[in-house]
Amino acid sequence: MRDRIGSHDLLLVTLDTLRYDVAAACLAHGRTPQLARVLPGGVWERRHTPASFTYAAHHAFFAGFLPTPVTPGPHERLFAARFAGSESSGPGTWVFDAADLPSGLAAAGYHTVCLGGVGFFNPGAPLGRVLPGLFAEAHWEPAFGVTAPACLDAQTDRLTEIINRLPAERPLFTFVNVAALHQPNRHYLPGAETDSLASHAAALEYVDRTLGRLFTLVTSRGRPCQVIICSDHGTLYGEDGHTGHRVAHEHVWTVPYADFVLPAHPTPAHPAPPQPASAESAQPAPTQPAKDQP
């Protein structure tokens, strides 16, 4: 990744709570065709997350500790905050002199944008301002959250507005936390009264349908885009008596991961979305709790 800083835009997408087994099964059965077109080799990489819930996992990600390959290491990291004794930085690692990736990229000339999803990005409480506070520009609104069936569409609408006003010569780092997979997700399965592995998979199908629009948008600025897309942790639907996450369980620790470069596809300026913009992250949004499900 070292040789791409400055010449490439960057996109980090966390598919919050997505289980590896569900992601792999949907891919194998042709239910996520957009992902099938972009994943290296047409498959998800099986990795282990550094944490079992959103807040802790994202702190690790932004310090350079993305999900780790399940095979024995050490494994060279894409990027890393500089610190003495690091054994996983190598010739291709971009090492930055900052405590977090958004600050390191800002120092390298990037405009940094956070489009939050789950409650840890809701600025209605101080805890929900910590992760967004790492970015030059951060946005959250109820339409991005866990109860909004079109959450990724709303986030992509907001990114369209941002890209339309950003000078083309300014490199862009976009972080998107997608809330669709997180409980509650029953609204993606018509008639469902409870969350289940089936509604989890249906939520992933919705995300896949929308990712094509997001990928087209981030490659429309005249520069290639380095994409990292992964889950931050899995979740449980009754396995071994557990529901939710923040527990040490195989289906929580094991997550899908991929990174790849999308080539530039310049297009004319994007029309602004028809609906009026909602409140920015600077405005409290008390409709969603600033915490993850346990």
Please name the residue that has the structure tokens 């592995």. 197
CATH number of the domain that residue 8 is part of: 3.40.720.10
Domain count, the chain: 1
Q: Does residue 277 sit within a domain?
A: no
Q: Does residue 291 sit within a domain?
A: no
Give the residue among 107, 111, 73 at the shortest CA–CA distance from 90: 73
Q: What integer pLDDT is reported at residue 267 of this predicted model?
A: 58
| Burial class of residue 294 (count of CB atoms within 10 Å of its CB; 0-12, 13-18, 19+) | exposed
Q: Does residue 254 sit within a domain?
A: yes
121-131 tens-digit pLDDT: 999 999 999 99
Of the two residues 39 and 88, the one the predictor is more confident about is 39
Q: How far apart are CA 125 and CA 86, in angstroms?
A: 34
State the residue range of the domain holding 180: 2-262
241-288 tens-digit pLDDT: 888 788 889 999 999 999 999 999 865 445 555 444 443 433 333 333
Q: What is the mean pLDDT of residues 207-231?
A: 97
| 102 confidence band (pLDDT: 50, 70, 90) | very high
Q: Does residue 271 sit within a domain?
A: no
Asked if residue 291 has pLDDT above 70, the reply is: no
Q: What integer pLDDT is reported at residue 278 of this predicted model?
A: 40
Distances from the Cα of 150 to the Cαs of 94, 140, 146, 187, 188, in angstroms?
35, 14, 10, 11, 10
| 204 confidence band (pLDDT: 50, 70, 90) | very high
Which tokens in the block code for residue 118? Answer: 């789950």
Q: How far apart are CA 66 and CA 59, in angstroms?
A: 10
Q: Does residue 278 sit within a domain?
A: no
Which tokens in the block code for residue 279? Answer: 């409140």
Q: What integer pLDDT is reported at residue 279 of this predicted model?
A: 37
